[in-house]
Amino acid sequence: MKLRDLSPLMARRRDGGLSHGRFRADPALASLHWPDDVLEQFLFDHGDNSAFVHDYGDVDLCEIRWSLETIPTEDFEEMPTGASDAGCIENFAKNPVHWVRVRPPEVGQHWERHGTWLRPPILIARWLLHPADTGLQVLEGRTRVGVLRGRRREGLHVESHHQAWVGHPAM
């Protein structure tokens, strides 16, 4: 199953006729056995975003297994995102205080207290996209990763490790 296969479901979601609860209960999505947070951030929020479809449209969604992992801060420094959004992480990193300020107050409070994001971003093993590639790529959470990079450069409180959902090839 690929993102394009979900276009009828995405059209119902886009038209407002499908809550997240009903969306995730769709048999096609339920068969993926993905964590709810990944379903929401990736498919519900962005499954019909043209940049996502361009960058991730050829990935077989059934071949991804997700795990919540702890990733060192350094790993996020050079981690890319999809080609359609190249450069956006660095744009967010230029003004991390602004990008936190325009979010709900609890986001900024969490950064100040814990030095990390409130909600884990979604990363994907680059091997799933291009078999010759290694490492991880930011699938969803480009603003969060940009804020992390920017806060680190500006000497603001940043923890040494951060949780993220990571998609690996199903074996």
Can you tell me the mean pLDDT for 83-88? 93
What proportion of the chain, given as a percentage, has pLDDT over 90?
A: 73
Does the pLDDT of residue 19 top 90, yes or no?
no
What are the residues whose beta carbons fall under 8 Å from the beta carbon of 2, sequence distance 6 or more?
57, 58, 59, 60, 61
Does the pLDDT of residue 75 top 90, yes or no?
yes
Beta carbons of 10 and 48 less than 8 angstroms apart? yes
Question: 19 or 162, which is more confident?
Answer: 162
On average, the pLDDT of the chain sits at 93
What proportion of the chain, given as a percentage, has pLDDT over 70?
A: 100
Does the pLDDT of residue 171 top 80, yes or no?
no
Q: Pairing between strand 136-140 and 122-125?
A: antiparallel
Q: pLDDT tens digits for 25-58?
A: 888 898 899 999 999 999 988 888 888 889 999 9
Say what the pTM is: 0.94
